[in-house]
Structure 1
Amino acid sequence: MKIHRPHLLKHTFNVVNRVRQTASVAGLSAFRVAKGEKPDARLLKETFEQLGTTYIKIGQFIASTPSLFPREYVEAFQDCLDQTTPLSYDYIQQVLESELAVDGHTLEDRFAHIERQPLASASIAQVHAARLHNGDEVVLKVQKPEVETIMQTDLGVLHGVTKLVELLMPSMKFASIAPIIDEIRLRMLAETDFIAEAQNIRDFQQFLSVSGNTRVVAPQVYDALTTKRVLTMSRLHGVSMIDETAMRQYCADPAQVMADTLNTWFASLLMCNSFHADLHAGNLMLLTDGRIGFLDFGIVGKLKAESWRACMGMMQALQDNDYQAMAKNMIDMEMTNERHQVDEAALATDLQRMMSAIMAEDKAFTSGVPFNSKEQADELNQMMLDIVDVGKRHGIHFPRDFALLTKQLLYFDRFMRTLAPDMDMFSDQRVQILGKSDLASSSTPVLNVS
């Protein structure tokens, strides 16, 4: 027992220190309210960002779960950034040594060189470039020290914190706090388990192999150098897929690259164990050899085949301005408790009214604003929230995975307006997804990435 006492004392100290920090930040927020500041979504977002890791993730959970939280909070947390000030490499080295300097090996045995300056830094992990002794270039995704202790402590005291939140923010309804916390815990544990992320990558690579897809690639995982807290992957070199000029150095037709990306993602929805749910511009890359790189599989989603077909039917109906069919497919998603209680005609009317307003206000179609502008990101979020709001009024409640999928589809739509403005996701012959004749069957989409 004496062997474990120093570790136990350190763990206890870290827990107590974290509780103290949390109480201090929450107390300051309460003081701001006492001085007359409005207890609104903005204040809660600022408080969460000050509290760090766990609460940033909770903020992102709120932003990606519009069916569960009030709209004002979903909107506020859309900008909850997960970019943090990098930690000194000395701290990262401690994690690397505890995870990889084992069985008589040192870090010098494992790596020929590790860059001290990180490539990126987020709340949970920091990414460093490295080189193996055989010359392989790799990236190390390293979990920051004490992240797991911080998260477990935060989640443990969250019930108490929500009492304060309820007091300060009456519009935040936490009546069903237990299932919410359980869901948050599951999502967070998945993001902090790099072995699970490595499996997500392997699942995707297996899907690429089975489908004969040679146009897309994901980083190779180095299993011997991967643990729950360290993920070692091959380093991919390329350019951003929102920079058409840079892309033309490595491809003849950026629009075809976009089609290949879409075909791969659509096919993965039914042919892979999970779908990549965070394919923003930073996680897509055109490699110098012309292939497409899918990066960062920390956030994935899963959707039943029936729900996916209904989703595609809804999107196709939207494309055709067929709001009756759009309403029918929304109801078919198995997201209602009692189908017969939904007035399909009234839902169709509300959808038509909503989309007409969106189309009238949508300046981004012709404005030429770059895709990564805040204006278009806000427009995307507003469209998703409008769809969810209409569904809510008719008893349709969207699970988080559907919100992830819908947001990704809308993201692709805006992506194409910059990279391939002549392409339509649902009618372009280069894009192969579930067609109208397939929506009633269980067939999988055809992969077309030749």
Structure 2
Amino acid sequence: MKIHRPHLLKHTLNVANRVRQTASVAGLSAFRVAKGEKPDAQMLKETFEQLGTTYIKIGQFVASTPSLFPREYVEAFQDCLDQTTPLSYQYIEQVLSDELAINGQSLSDLFAHIETEPLASASIAQVHAARLYNGDEVVLKVQKPDVETIMQTDLGVLHGVTKIIELLMPSMRFASIAPIIDEIRLRMLAETDFIAEAQNIRDFQQFLAVSGNTKVIAPTVYDELTTKRVLTMSRLNGVSMINESVMRQYCDDPAQVMADTLNTWFASLMLCNSFHADLHAGNLMLLTDGRIGFLDFGIVGKLKAESWRACMGMMQALQDNDYQAMAHNMIDMEMTHGRSQVDVAALGQDLEKMMRTIMAEDKAFTSGVPSNSKEQADELNKMMLEIVAVGKRHGIHFPRDFALLTKQLLYFDRFMRTLAPDMDMFSDQRVAMIAQPV
């Protein structure tokens, strides 16, 4: 097999440079420890943010996977933000040329105009607005140079540095690190495959069509201008769903918009090939025509219909203070490897004890005084962490994508505090949490 030597040399240099950068940041953290600073979860979070792309994603994985990681690390990484300084258009243009300008074509043959200033920039990709010659307004999601090389290098190095982390921070020792690294690799590398993301969008659009949903829309993918590293989609125009007064320019009732969003997402859990697992404020939009736009399908999850029904049963049992029913639904959710070995009565008693402790400690649960959205989200997250901890003691393990589902419910909780403070997700008549097959 013929080896392309310049490419191989560049790849080798990129790997060596990334290892050097990682060693430099890790060395600074080790120096902080040597000076007497406590090597805790907060320090690890700060180190990960300095290391960039891969480690920011790992931090977010830690924050959304309480069934695998110690509680103090889950809480520390809740605020691990995926935001980066934009790259110059020169770098982005090179990726666009490499991916799209083939068979003698140039970018100017494909696009009438490309905005050089990005609309957004995150660790994996940068988004630019563009216009086609037929007049279509589009957005280009462009993977940043060498992202896949950086991730593969980081994940390889991580196997080694894990041993160092375990020595510095005993509470980070895991029963087996290999499955966790494999899970992180699967999720992160899936985000670098825009062909897969395009399929996620098509799956969602098919679900909308089959269910007759005309209230929600996803961008149209331009297949001929989409590759593994470039995703070209129609541009949706509207406003973010975090400001009620701005939304009222395009709708009469923001609370109904929230209900329509919830109904669509809940239905997708059972009727779509996958569910959108990253609908934060930046990925939901109220369009100028009143429809709701779902954006960015890079992170999706899959959950069996029976698991979702059991999840809803657990939530309803929690509302009803029926802890024995809650225990039964936890087992029905496929959380455990050996359901016959779980003492349901003891599990129910532990759940009741846990909830009474939370309510005794947290006045927000009992005072009736409204708290802000962050406090509300923190309360819900604290409760979920406690449920996970109780489950662990009884040998219960959550389904693979349960953490993604829980994280999305937290996002919705924040939206509702702004748009529909009087709406109860679990009992409002406008919200249908269990979809009926079409």
**TM > 0.5:** yes
User: Structure 1 residues 293-302 or 383-392, which shifts more?
Assistant: 383-392
Contact 1:65–1:399 (CA under 8 A) maintained in structure 2: no
User: Structure 1 residues 84-93 or 22-31, which shifts more?
Assistant: 22-31
CA distance in 1, matches of 2:141, 2:369: 38
Residue 445 (str. 1) matches residue 401 (str. 2): no
Name the counterpart of 1:127.
Answer: 127
- 1:277 CA displacement: 0.8
Residue identity opposite 1:238 in structure 2? G
Matches of residues 20-419 of structure 1 in structure 2 within 5 Å? Answer: 20-359=20-359, 361=362, 363=364, 371=373, 374-419=374-419
- 1:39 CA displacement: 1.2
User: Closer, same or farther in 2 for the Cα pair 1:416/1:356, shift >3 Å?
Assistant: farther
Contact 1:217–1:292 (CA under 8 A) maintained in structure 2: yes
Contact 1:240–1:282 (CA under 8 A) maintained in structure 2: yes
Structure 2: 5+ residue stretches without partners: none
Contact 1:266–1:445 (CA under 8 A) maintained in structure 2: no
- 1:112 CA displacement: 1.2
Aligned with 1:171: secondary structure? helix
- 1:2 CA displacement: 7.9
CA distance in 1, matches of 2:381, 2:137: 37
- 1:110 CA displacement: 1.2
Aligned residues: 436
Name the counterpart of 2:425.
Answer: 425
Contact 2:194–2:227 (CA under 8 A) maintained in structure 1: yes
Aligned with 2:141: secondary structure? strand
- 1:359 CA displacement: 4.7
CA distance in 2, matches of 1:331, 1:344: 9
Residues 361-409 of structure 1: CA deviation (Å, up to 9, x unaligned): 26389655553xx434433322321221222222212244111112322
User: Closer, same or farther in 2 for the Cα pair 1:254/1:102, shift >3 Å?
Assistant: same
Residue identity opposite 1:349 in structure 2? Q
- 1:357 CA displacement: 4.4
Residue identity opposite 1:259 in structure 2? A
Contact 1:124–1:192 (CA under 8 A) maintained in structure 2: yes
- 1:85 CA displacement: 0.9
Residue identity opposite 1:378 in structure 2? D
User: Closer, same or farther in 2 for the Cα pair 1:410/1:123, shift >3 Å?
Assistant: closer
CA distance in 2, matches of 1:146, 1:242: 34
User: Closer, same or farther in 2 for the Cα pair 1:149/1:216, shift >3 Å?
Assistant: same
Aligned with 1:86: secondary structure? coil
User: Structure 1 residues 330-339 or 265-274, which shifts more?
Assistant: 330-339
Structure 1: 5+ residue stretches without partners: 435-443
CA distance in 2, matches of 1:346, 1:411: 32
Residues 120-175 of structure 1: CA deviation (Å, up to 9, x unaligned): 11111111111111111111111101111111111122211112112211211144
User: Closer, same or farther in 2 for the Cα pair 1:23/1:243, shift >3 Å?
Assistant: same
CA distance in 1, matches of 2:200, 2:339: 34
Residue identity opposite 1:243 in structure 2? N
- 1:428 CA displacement: 2.1
CA distance in 2, matches of 1:368, 1:339: 39
Residues 325-374 of structure 1: CA deviation (Å, up to 9, x unaligned): 11110111121122233222232233233334445626389655553xx4
Contact 1:67–1:399 (CA under 8 A) maintained in structure 2: no
Contact 2:377–2:413 (CA under 8 A) maintained in structure 1: no
CA distance in 2, matches of 1:303, 1:353: 29
- 1:274 CA displacement: 0.5
Contact 2:364–2:370 (CA under 8 A) maintained in structure 1: no
Aligned with 1:403: secondary structure? helix
Contact 1:65–1:400 (CA under 8 A) maintained in structure 2: no
CA distance in 2, matches of 1:45, 1:102: 42
Contact 1:30–1:168 (CA under 8 A) maintained in structure 2: no
- 1:232 CA displacement: 0.8
User: Structure 1 residues 335-344 or 68-77, which shifts more?
Assistant: 335-344
User: Closer, same or farther in 2 for the Cα pair 1:2/1:413, shift >3 Å?
Assistant: closer
Residue identity opposite 2:113 in structure 1? H
Aligned with 1:141: secondary structure? strand
User: Closer, same or farther in 2 for the Cα pair 1:368/1:108, shift >3 Å?
Assistant: farther
Question: RMSD over aligned Cα, in angstroms?
Answer: 1.9
CA distance in 2, matches of 1:399, 1:199: 23
Contact 1:226–1:232 (CA under 8 A) maintained in structure 2: yes
CA distance in 1, matches of 2:237, 2:359: 39
User: Closer, same or farther in 2 for the Cα pair 1:398/1:225, shift >3 Å?
Assistant: same
Residue identity opposite 1:363 in structure 2? A
Aligned with 2:303: secondary structure? coil
User: Structure 1 residues 228-237 or 362-371, which shifts more?
Assistant: 362-371
CA distance in 1, matches of 2:136, 2:370: 41
TM-score (norm 1): 0.92
CA distance in 1, matches of 2:3, 2:406: 51
